[in-house]
Amino acid sequence: MDILITGAGSGLGRGTALGLARAGHHVIAGAEIWPQVRALRDTARREGLTVEAIKLDVTDETDRAAALRHRVDILVLNAGVQEAGAVVEIPMSRVRRSFEVNVFGHLHLVQGFAPQLVGRGAGKVVWVSSAVGVRTRPWVGVYAATKHAIEALAWAMKGELEPRGVRVATINPGPYRTGYNDTGVEAMDQWWDGSSALLDRPDLSDYLANQDDPQEMVDEMVRVIPAAHHPYRTTRPEGLRERLREFEAQVWDAGT
């Protein structure tokens, strides 16, 4: 099975790309920068894995065009950036960048690969969303907004493409210790100025200290992505599905 995954240069994407290859799939692993590409190739070579590592910055038109030359059975839209900060203060340049990577770059890819998938009447598109695609939290509102957009696009695509034989699903990880969330919080240091800030900066150290081991999420992604049958939305860690449902009920009942 030919599986293309974006954001395979680090974190859950890298672990999943290598895990899928170990399971016997032909993996086209898209990484944002060349050092990540070379690192993936070195790892695959050492382990004897079938990984075709390519440079794929999803915001780069040339990179996307090169990726579209590949045949894929499953397209996994995993690349992402996270920017913490209050919605009323985070620089608009950061907001735009978040949407360009998390949403627009992937939508370009989906539209590019859709003709071959629909033409064959088979295949799958997997959007890697997040727990905050359902449950929004203070200080990650912009990131959550991009994931909410992904949820809307994926659900609409499910109704549009599944009658043509192309399945659509989401994966919604909770907080895992890959460095991704830590980077998202630290990114505030680039622009936050306590002397002029409208809001006090939150202490997110407990959140970062209590992240889960990413291997369980990688293992679940490796299982679900190529599976013939699985739920539309895959969540981990255990219990997250129930917490997301509780959050949705809380929003309906909240006052102002």
Taken in order of first residue, the domains within the chain and their CATH numbers are 2-253 (3.40.50.720)
The pLDDT value given to residue 250: 85
pLDDT in 10s for each residue of the chain, 256 residues: 999 999 999 999 999 999 999 999 999 999 999 999 999 999 999 999 999 999 999 999 999 999 999 999 999 999 999 999 999 999 999 999 999 999 999 999 999 999 999 999 999 999 999 999 999 999 999 999 999 999 999 999 999 999 999 999 999 999 999 999 999 999 999 999 999 999 999 899 999 999 999 999 999 999 999 999 999 999 999 888 898 988 888 888 888 7
| Token pair in block for residue 204 | 């997110």
The pLDDT value given to residue 248: 82
DSSP category for residue 80: -
Total number of residues shown for the chain: 256
Residues sharing a CB contact under 8 Å with residue 237, sequence separation 6 or more, in sequence order: 174, 212, 216, 217
| Catalytic residue list contains 143 | yes
Distance separating alpha carbons of residues 34 and 116, to the nearest angstrom: 27
The pLDDT value given to residue 251: 83
Distance separating alpha carbons of residues 128 and 58, to the nearest angstrom: 14
The pLDDT value given to residue 253: 84
Residues sharing a CB contact under 8 Å with residue 7, sequence separation 6 or more, in sequence order: 13, 30, 31, 32, 58, 78, 79, 80, 128
| Token pair in block for residue 96 | 């735009």
The pLDDT value given to residue 108: 98
Phi, psi of 113 (to 5 degrees): -85, -20
The pLDDT value given to residue 249: 84
Residues sharing a CB contact under 8 Å with residue 59, sequence separation 6 or more, in sequence order: 100, 101, 104, 105
Q: Which residues of 59-68 are buried (b: 16+ CB within 10 A; e: fewer)?
A: beeebbeebb
